[in-house]
Structure 1
Amino acid sequence: MKEVTMETRIGISGWRYPPWRGTFYPEDLAQKNELYFASRQLSSIEINGSFYSTQSPASYKAWYSTTPDHFIFSVKGPRYITHIRRLNDIALPLANFFGSGVLHLKEKLGPFLWQFPPSFRLDEDKLANFFAHLPKTEKQAVQLAKKADRLDPDYPAAAATSQRHLRHAIEVRHHSFENPDFIKLLRDFNIALVLADTAGKWPYMEDATADFMYLRLHGDEELYASGYAPENLNWWSDRIKKWQAGSEPRDALTMAGPDPHPQKRDVFVYFDNDLKVRAPVDAKSLMHLLHVDWKPQD
């Protein structure tokens, strides 16, 4: 039997940062071509704009067509749901989000990232209701999108019958989540816990809770700014290899202990230490350590 190769995606959180001009981006590169350039250097990028406001179907279609084959986007869920509604009365906001055109990313659509504010405390009932509403397939996402009330749902026709699996990851920022019951809840719904390196500011847990791992590296010494030294990137590389292989680091900082159902996992890693132009540099360095070869052909 052929051995299954697990997927490694290493990229950046967003792609439009003026300080990257002349460092990551060539000085003479037109701004409209930044995504084109970045997607040929890195195999995945988080879409951040969807967190702040509703993006248009035209934008999703343009992002799809601009990027090469086999590229993957992660998409940040709206703060309207997580920060403003705080998971209250979420059915229609979720319908509007999934009807906004995000499914036009088609096979380039990777995990959805749901980030909670530092003031949001663990509420198991509210989270369970949220997880139950999240679509697990494109078909379910379309069924949800059809209930949109703020826009005309827009999605590719093929999505209406597609059973392609959708993934979801949760990033928490309140210490009440350092609770084994929270980890169990994530595992029950196959939701990934985001391993967020935040220079010690917010919770850091290494529990494997889904069929993939999702890492966000915001800076190990200074939030959103500090770069990762070679020895630190080696440390991350060693851990990623273990999670991919279906094991866990011996010194893993977990709330609930080892995963009772170990399995090989895809790994998604995004650098968000962009203030000092470190994110793309560190992403490419980690790709090299993990032997991730990304040379797309147009």
Structure 2
Amino acid sequence: MSKAASTRTQAHIKAGIGGWTYEPWRDNFYPKGLAQAKELNYASRHVSTIEINGTYYSTFKPENFRKWHDETPDDFIFSLKASRFTTNRKVLATAEDSIKRFVESGLTELGNKLGPIVWQFMPTKQFDAEDFEAFLALLPKKEGSRVLRHVMDVRHESFITPDYKALAKKYRVSTVFTDADKFPSFEEPEGDFAYARLMMADAKLKTGYGPKALDTWAERARGWAESPGKKGTRDVFVYFINGAKEKAPAAAGALLERLGWKPPVEA
């Protein structure tokens, strides 16, 4: 791959963490004495994306999204977990009102910084083709003029089937890839964009993942961006999300360094 092609590929890869408010990161990832109100500003200049987890548990207002937009660099991306009320239900086909409330809560105030919406399902939620297709049909392709991208975080082994893959392809949704032992995963990220949640950080390692493992993940991320059969370069999102969470910022930073990312100047 030429240097120019490599640069284009790396521009499509984002790596980061889940949330930005986490006590063990204070006086560790965050400088000693940094005001909590400035943590997003700081974090967004040391990773290139953050998955917002709070939207899974609570409803936020347009001004919250607007504030997050204004505190972060121009090329920063947020992914959002959809409200648990949309996915934690026996019959997914009944989720229309909850989906509508979530999507219309102000997400588009993030503007160009709005990345994928993560629809996370309980580990006990099994694949029912008819019901799951009804759910996928409810997901809006746009909110206003903003195109929405959806990624399914399915956590039961029954989803590892060609029938599910066919539905995901039909409705143009991606599927979360994970390295976690406790959740099943397809061998490679599925969809128009790749979305990985890495959960095997080791607290004994400075960066959570060792140097060789990070080298491998960097190469895999480049491969996902240039995945055969895809038209052009696809976006890739990699989050260090669980396991030894206190190591997540160091892991994301180490991966970004391998990808040639240069952090923006701190505000």
Task: State the TM-score, normalized to the length of structure 1.
Answer: 0.80
Q: 1:239 aligns with which of 214, 220, 226?
A: 220
Q: Identity across aligned pairs (percent)?
A: 40
The count of residues paired between Structure 1 and Structure 2 equals 257
Contact 1:8–1:266 (CA<8 Å) still a contact in 2?
yes
Q: CA deviation at 1:275?
A: 4.2
Question: Residue 81 of structure 1 aligns with which residue?
Answer: 86
Q: CA deviation at 1:293?
A: 2.4
Contact 1:190–1:209 (CA<8 Å) still a contact in 2?
no
Q: Is the partner of 1:270 in helix, strand or coil?
A: strand
Q: 1:271 aligns with which of 226, 240, 250?
A: 240
Q: Is the partner of 1:204 in helix, strand or coil?
A: coil
Q: Which amino acid aligns with 1:18?
A: E
CA RMSD of aligned residues (A): 2.1
Alignment of 1:13-92 (within 5 A): 13-84=18-89, 87-92=92-97
Mapped partners of 1:52, 1:102: distance in 2: 15
Question: Residue 285 of structure 1 aligns with which residue?
Answer: 254
Residues 25-45 of structure 1: CA distance to partner in whole angstroms, max 9, x if unpaired?
011100111101101111110
Task: State the TM-score, normalized to the length of structure 2.
Answer: 0.89
Runs of 5+ unmatched residues, structure 1: 140-161, 248-260
Residues 26-85 of structure 1: CA distance to partner in whole angstroms, max 9, x if unpaired?
111001111011011111101111000111222111111111211110010011111146
* 2:206 is the alignment partner of 1:203: no
Alignment of 1:1-298 (within 5 A): 5-6=8-9, 7-84=12-89, 87-139=92-144, 162=145, 164-198=146-180, 200-219=181-200, 227-247=208-228, 261-263=229-231, 264-273=233-242, 275-296=244-265
Mapped partners of 2:256, 2:94: distance in 1: 41
Residues 239-266 of structure 1: CA distance to partner in whole angstroms, max 9, x if unpaired?
111111123xxxxxxxxxxxxx433311
Q: Which amino acid aligns with 1:196?
A: T
Runs of 5+ unmatched residues, structure 2: none
Mapped partners of 1:57, 1:262: distance in 2: 35
Residues 141-171 of structure 1: CA distance to partner in whole angstroms, max 9, x if unpaired?
xxxxxxxxxxxxxxxxxxxxx2x42211111
Residues 173-212 of structure 1: CA distance to partner in whole angstroms, max 9, x if unpaired?
11111111111211111111110121x1110213443221
CA distance 1:86–1:44, shift in 2 (3 Å): farther
